Structure 1
């Protein structure tokens, strides 16, 4: 992050999200339909997938593009800022110690909470639009879904807890593994090339490969939460009205509205277990692992490539900020630090 501004991080994250949305969205649509409670009724004939499963694969993409751009920028800006802050708080700057995988997990978790708050309404609209049967010609599936939320737009945030509950463990699993694999592959490449990794494409490729491996494993493990999240968001778009309006945002985020169709996390989980058994929680797991491997690889690969491109452009235009800094008043040598107070103390092994 040494040469990147927050604007650089935001732009790189937004461009990465746009690339993924365009290229991987059809697989996400198929995954949503497979996880839908109406999958067997609408998308299969005698146990085999029918044409409806593969029709209108870009339904609802408009809303998700509009919102994932700011949400992805917010994620990466928060992630990089938290990671930098936590690393800076480690020894010798303080006595606090936190392993690097924990730092990566905490940073990605905090970033997800921010991102999910922005993303939830678009995710609800998107998933409901993905399963709309296009009976009315010329009418956008997204507009059909929006009509269902006119009376109570707050329903768009039902499922926030399920979305965060899926994304938090996903990123907590993915990012430590991703950062470890990236460091491993970079070090291996440096040994092969005599200590240097050249070029934006090479660095982005290493990032994409690491992210794909880490993302596919995390996606498979967190599929049960993803199925619950999908069912909750689809139920939020059903036409039946709530028995009463609610202004309790906390209750709305965890349970949705008190209606026949809008269900909470535990009720949704019980319904899946009752109707589909344990296998119902892993519906679409293989497809999700594949598209997450592609999506995560492309997402983080494009992000890293974009970040390095903006960094190199900034350095070429403005020069190296480290070399331009005024070091005349900088004291070099042993002195007090935040962890040591006014003097330098010996380590425990030195006192022996």
Structure 2
């Protein structure tokens, strides 16, 4: 593990999330619209994709960027901390054996549970804003969605179970493969360059390639859960009055989230199967695979490059400070000492004669 501080990891993770959101958000919007139950009615014409599918591709981006920054920082901080703790608690020669892929999977899973708790409300707002029609009065889609949830804000967390249900298997598959590929490509590059990988850009490129390969496969496999999650979050925006809603946050989290969300996932899955068949569970799978390959590559590549840059910058500053502190000027002799050209007899300078 690189010697990064928690601040380094948080900043690098947040910057990576911000960069990726801006670049790949339009693909995420198209994916959400393809997976929505109203796709054929709203975004197709004569069996083909209509122009409406490609309009307003950045609708809802503001909410997700604001919450993604702390969410991504929390994910990477938790992931690195858990991975370091487990590696330290289970040394290679210990009687308690835990393979490295298992450590990576457990660490990423714990990090996802923390991240999803922060991200869920923004994800619900984002996905409902992505399919919202622009108001004639000039009200933004995000504000329209916020107005819908104003009376029932607890519904913003109704998709937590579905989001965690998608992200946990995704990261459990992606991160072990990602770490293995990164190590493989790093070792291969070291052999090609005589035992060393130089430069932040080279490290970031290897990380991005490894993350893209691992992410695309995991994305395709978890697409059915992603479809269910999208349908549930869009349904939360359409259902304005639900009898089970409560103003008691504690009761909602302990009862509503545990039982109602699980039932909602099962009911949503049955609805998808009845209306679209098995193919409906893989709607947008190809686009999601491409989007995730690009997004994961940029995400983890920028994160890796960012944390190594911050580490190198901090080490450079610390090195300069140590050198300045350890330098003992009292031992520096000016004008006194042996010289090959002068022999052993060296005269003192004029200012030293005056001092004596």
Contact 1:157 1:252 in 2 (8 A): no
Post-superposition offset of 1:96 = 1.4
Taking a change above 3 Å as real, the CA distance of residues 165 and 244 of structure 1, as seen in their structure-2 partners, is closer
Q: Given the superposition, is the C-alpha separation of residues 92 and 41 from structure 1 closer, same or farther in structure 2, using an over 3 Å criterion?
A: closer
CA RMSD after TM alignment: 1.9
The equivalent residue for 1:219 is 219
The aligned counterpart of 2:150 is 150
- Which secondary structure does the structure 1 equivalent of 2:238 belong to? coil
Deviation at 1:304, TM superposition (A): 0.0
Closer, same or farther in 2 for the Cα pair 1:186/1:221, shift >3 Å? same
Q: How does 1:179-218 map to 2 (within 5 A)?
A: 179-218=179-218
**What is the alpha-carbon distance in structure 2 between the residues aligned to residue 178 and residue 167 of structure 1?**
15
1:290 is matched with: 290
Indicate the residue corresponding to 2:252 in structure 1. Answer: 248
In the TM superposition, residue 20 of structure 1 has moved relative to its aligned partner by: 0.5
Please report how far the alpha carbon of residue 94 of structure 1 lies from its aligned counterpart in structure 2 after TM superposition. 4.2
Contact 1:120-1:163 within 8 A present in 2 as well:
yes
Distance in 1 of aligned mates of 2:96 and 2:306: 33
Mapped partners of 1:175, 1:106: distance in 2 = 10
Q: Could you tell which deviates more after superposition, 239-248 or 77-86?
A: 239-248
1:172 aligned residue: 172
Relative to 1, partners in 2 of residues 1:209 and 1:126: Cα closer, same or farther, differing over 3 Å? same
Report what 1:267 is aligned to: 267
Q: How far apart in 2 are the matches of 1:154 and 1:126?
A: 16
Greater helix share, structure number: 2
Q: Residues 86 and 103 of structure 2 are in contact (CA less than 8 Å); yes or no, is this contact kept in structure 1?
A: yes
Deviation of 1:97 (Å): 1.1
User: What is aligned with 1:51?
Assistant: 51
Residues 11-26 of structure 1: pairs in structure 2 closer than 5 A? 11-26=11-26
Residue 108 of structure 1 aligns with which residue?
A: 108
Q: CA deviation at 1:239?
A: 4.5
Structure 1: how far apart are the matches of 2:185 and 2:202? Answer: 11
Aligned length: 319
| Matching residue of 1:5 | 5
The alpha-carbon deviation at position 317 of structure 1 amounts to: 0.6
Q: Mark the CA change 1:92 to 1:224 in structure 2 (over 3 Å): closer, same or farther.
A: closer
Is the CA contact (8 Å cut-off) linking 1:128 and 1:233 kept in structure 2? yes
Alignment match, 1:350: none
- Cα distance in 2, alignment partners of residues 59 and 256 from structure 1: 29
Q: Structure 1 residues 90 and 119 mapped into 2: Cα distance closer, same or farther (>3 Å)?
A: same
**Preserved contact between residue 158 and residue 254 of structure 1 (Cα < 8 Å):** no
Distance 1:162 1:22 in 2: 24
Against the structure 1 CA distance between its residues 177 and 92, is the aligned structure 2 distance closer, same or farther, given a 3 Å change threshold?
closer
CA contact (8 A) 1:235 1:263 kept: no
Q: Structure 2: which 5+ residue stretches go unaligned?
A: 324-356
Instruction: Normalising by structure 1, report the TM-score.
Output: 0.87
Q: Please give the per-residue CA displacement for 1:23-52, whole angstroms capped at 9, x wherever unaligned.
A: 000000000000000000000001100000
Moved more, 1-10 or 204-213: 1-10
What is the rounded CA distance, in whole Å, between the counterparts of 2:22 and 2:72 in structure 1?
15
TM-score after normalising by structure 2: 0.86
Q: Distance in 1 between matches of 2:49 and 2:239?
A: 26
Q: Partner residue of 2:78?
A: 78
The alignment status of 1:281 with 2:281, answered yes or no, reads yes
Closer, same or farther: CA 237–316 of 1 in aligned 2, 3 Å:
same
* Structure 1: gaps of 5 or more residues: 324-352
Quote the residue 2:310 is aligned against. Answer: 310
**Structure whose CA Rg is larger:** 2
Q: Do the aligned partners of 1:255 and 1:265 also contact (CA within 8 Å) in 2?
A: no
TM-aligned CA deviation for residue 252 of structure 1: 2.9
Alpha-carbon separation, structure 2, partners of 1:136 and 1:252: 36
